[in-house]
Structure 1
Amino acid sequence: MNFTEKYQSLIVLTSVFIGVTLGQISFFQLYAEHLIIPFLMIMLTGVFIQIPLSDIKNSFTKIHFTVASLCINFIWTPLFAWALGYVFLRETPPLWIGFMMLMVTPCTDWYLVFTGISKGNVALGTSILPLNFILQLTLLPLYLLILGGSVITIDPISLFYGVFLVLIIPIISSNLLRRLALRFKNDAWLKEKILSKIGLNQMIFLNLAIIAMFASQSTILLDHPKIMLILLVPVLIFFAANFVIGQLVSRYLKFKYEDAAAFNLTTLARNSPIALAIAVASFPDQPMIALALIIGPLIELPVLTAVSQVLLRMRGRYIRAYS
């Protein structure tokens, strides 16, 4: 785990503080909102260039792992997130939508870091990444229209315009860059010169977007200082319940420890940058949706750190049970 991964929560929190501070200056508050989407588009181009979609076939080598994780991520989790939002967030519909957007998008990056920390099967966790990626891009707009439409009024045209702006364009750009790199150089050059440096650049542009967002919306945050406390309970319940479900499914399917750890983290970790980009582009008049997607990971990352340690403590039990 490198420096930015280890201190990601602290870095994001620092960016929030910088953004709120700059937001007290009228110049920054006025112009910051125009920088959010460009920063997110650059960041997501870096995310997408790392994902070789041709590797999607690898996710079918362990069919039980794949089917179980897809059922939890794309059937159970959306319904559970909607229900938690109804119980805890129905008085603040934008937070409900933001919470739901966070929870229905499986992680495509840092869950592998935590899988490695817990000595899980990183290769198996990686194999399902392209499939998770494709399905979340396809299904998130549908979840918003079907489930989110009962919470706030959603304009389908604005939603799909936002998807086009922050997903389709970066996907096309990243695919073009990857093809050009492979055509004029080779795979080794791509990995050494481009992919090895993307992680840091991705973190930089994500935090620049967060600074710009909080600078433009600092007034709203200062007027609603309890947002993090409001989100804390449903977020913790989500992770606790899904951890238990992941353990029960792993034992039912008789996964060995390494596979069980990968399964738990694949079904727990969430992917806020993609959801954040869609929220910013599709709901510019609902800034609290995006604020929920930034605050959520401040809770999530410490939880995933704790989960990794819990899994390590359970390792001996798995080894004794399935040796």
Structure 2
Amino acid sequence: MTRAALERHQVWLYLASIALGWLLGRQSPALAAGLEGLHWPLLAALLFATFCQTPLRQWRQSLRNRRFLALAVIGNFVLLPLLVALLLPWVPQDPAIRLGVLLVLLVPCTDWFISFTHLGQGATEDAIAFAPLSLLLQLLLLPLYLSLFLGADARTGMDWGAALVQREMLLAFGGLILLPLLLAFLTERFAWRGHPPRKAALLGALAWLPVPLLALVVGLIAATQAPLLAQSGGILLGLVPVFVAFLLLAAALARLLGTIWHLPLAQTRVLAFSFGTRNSFVVLPLALALPPGMELAAAAIVLQSLVELLGMVLFLWWLPRWRHPS
């Protein structure tokens, strides 16, 4: 099988991996729990392999693309919070569920959306350039958003939770973005220096890794989160249409912004993957640390992550088929 054929059939591989992971999580919860520690190393390896496919000079050029960065900021931190406000009336009134929904939908992903962008024919270098700016803004704005949506009660909760949120986001950014980025930089600049054929062979071998590594990551997430979701029973099923609507409207918003501002399709795809992916596994520790009685907040975040997994599989099939409006 060629690498092009592997990427062409990647959607089916991800669907099979999610299904197998879900079955493993339901049939062997203890085994699935033991695999949870593999999530971050696999994701770091996935991002390293992705970064190695993007030349360093393209990253530097993307930092000067102010129009794209402005649209990514406006979309993620102005328009999407407004969309969340429109969807919130369809969320159950349970305080824990509403907090979980807000935690996960208000913060964009800063890590694996880059790999989805790469595999979905987006501008990977622009996704990398946006990640640190996205992290900074969500650190500053998440407490404000929660106060606006939930009132004074949320502010009290965030007084003890803010440090945890900041720690988890910074750890994720350091371990999943900065470290793989540094390793990719060293690989590109110094691997077998003076031997271009060997360097090309190494980078060519790394180019095979994003698809199988992403399949392992999505399968692992499905396996480790299935038991928690099963424990919540059917009370969260009403959230599925909300999360599906969020994904579809996020993609429509990206397409609209890209059309209005005449963005290249590759950058429009970056917007779609950024708008559609959320920082679920960074805010999940905060939800798990909430006081007793708030367990459904974590379950809501897990459900969103599983819906998002399936949504990203759809995006990987759908977004490369986007064409410029005639």
Whether these two folds match at TM > 0.5 is yes
Match of 2:230 in 1: 221
Distance 1:282 1:212 in 2: 17
Measure how far apart 1:275 and its partner are.
1.8
Distance 2:11 2:301 in 1: 22
Counterpart contact for 1:161–1:282, Cα < 8 Å: no
Tell me whether 1:304 sits opposite 2:311 in the alignment.
Answer: no
Counterpart contact for 2:69–2:130, Cα < 8 Å: no
Q: What 5-or-longer segments of structure 2 have no aligned partner? A: 1-6, 194-198, 290-294
Counterpart contact for 1:159–1:282, Cα < 8 Å: yes
Measure how far apart 1:80 and its partner are.
2.3
- The equivalences for 1:19-34 within 5 A come to 19-23=25-29, 28=30, 33=33
Tell me whether 1:277 sits opposite 2:281 in the alignment.
Answer: yes
Distance 2:68 2:213 in 1: 32
Query: Could you report, residue by residue, the CA deviation over 1:117-175 in whole angstroms, capped at 9, with x for unpaired residues?
Result: xxxxx4xx334111222223323333432223554523122223323443323445424
Distance 1:129 1:305 in 2: 16
Match of 2:101 in 1: 96
Alignment CA distance shift 1:262-1:309 (3 Å): closer
Match of 1:140 in 2: 138
Distance 1:156 1:110 in 2: 29
Identity level (%): 11
Distance 2:313 2:185 in 1: 37
Tell me whether 1:291 sits opposite 2:302 in the alignment.
Answer: yes
Give 3-state SS (helix, strand or coil) of 1:159's partner.
helix
Match of 2:208 in 1: 196
Q: What is the TM-score of this pair, normalised by structure 2?
A: 0.71
Measure how far apart 1:45 and its partner are.
1.5
The one-letter code matched in structure 1 to 2:260 is Y
Distance 1:88 1:302 in 2: 25
Alignment CA distance shift 1:276-1:62 (3 Å): closer
Measure how far apart 1:265 and its partner are.
2.8
Distance 2:316 2:269 in 1: 11
Measure how far apart 1:19 and its partner are.
0.4
Alignment CA distance shift 1:295-1:226 (3 Å): farther
The one-letter code matched in structure 2 to 1:100 is L
Alignment CA distance shift 1:45-1:298 (3 Å): closer
Counterpart contact for 2:117–2:127, Cα < 8 Å: no
Q: What is the TM-score of this pair, normalised by structure 1?
A: 0.71
Alignment CA distance shift 1:272-1:190 (3 Å): farther
Q: What 5-or-longer segments of structure 1 have no aligned partner? A: 117-121
- The equivalences for 1:122-271 within 5 A come to 122=122, 125-148=123-146, 151=150, 153-154=157-158, 155-178=161-184, 180-181=186-187, 182-186=189-193, 188=200, 190-215=202-227, 217=228, 220-225=229-234, 227=236, 229-254=237-262, 259=264, 261-270=265-274
Counterpart contact for 1:98–1:288, Cα < 8 Å: no
Worse-matched range after superposition: 154-163 or 178-187: 178-187
Give 3-state SS (helix, strand or coil) of 1:109's partner.
helix
